[in-house]
């Protein structure tokens, strides 16, 4: 797939409304909890696996995993340490 190729989100009505997602798009959802996020994430993951796209889940949060190991999904665990968290907080406070 080339940059800006259309991909399916797993939600046909959303694909129709947005004219699909394109590779390279940044899709940002503002949600109040992870259950709301999962409403969009789960169909997207299922569709990406069906389409045999390269799907990587970078896991670094302390909440329960959003995805379980499965064929077609690569999970990378990133251990955060206090130095990264401290530097991030410093940058956010500086803004």
Tell me: the pLDDT tens digits for 7-47? Answer: 999 999 999 999 999 988 888 889 999 999 999 999 999 99
Instruction: Count the domains in the chain.
Output: 1
Question: Which DSSP string do the residues of 44-95 spell out, in sequence order?
Answer: HHHHHHHTT--EEEEE--SSPPSS---TTEEEEE----HHHHHHHHHHHHH-
- CA neighbours closer than 13 Å in the CB half-sphere of residue 41: 17
Q: Tens digits of per-residue pLDDT, 73-95?
A: 999 998 876 556 666 666 666 55
Tokens of 94: 């500086």
In a domain, 62, yes or no: yes
> Residue 52 carries which DSSP code?
T
SS3 state of residue 73: strand
Q: Answer whether residue 83 is part of any domain.
A: yes
Distance CA 57, CA 77 (A): 8
| Owning domain of residue 53 | 6-94
Q: Is residue 70 included in any domain, yes or no?
A: yes
pTM for this model (two decimals): 0.76
Q: Which pLDDT score, from 0 to 100, does residue 94 have?
A: 54
Please indicate, yes or no, if residue 55 is contained in any of the structural domains: yes
Specify if 1 maps to a domain. Answer: no
Number of residues that this document lists for the chain: 95
In a domain, 51, yes or no: yes
């Amino acid at each position: 797939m080339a940059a800006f190729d259309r991909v399916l989100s797993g939600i046909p009505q959303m694909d129709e409304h947005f004219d699909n997602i394109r590779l390279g798009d940044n899709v940002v959802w503002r949600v109040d909890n992870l259950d709301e996020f999962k409403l969009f994430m789960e169909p997207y993951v299922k569709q990406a696996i069906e389409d045999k796209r390269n799907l990587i889940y970078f896991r670094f949060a302390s909440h329960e995993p959003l995805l379980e190991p499965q064929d077609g999904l690569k999970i990378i665990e990133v251990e955060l340490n206090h130095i990264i968290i401290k530097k991030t907080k410093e940058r956010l406070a500086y803004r």
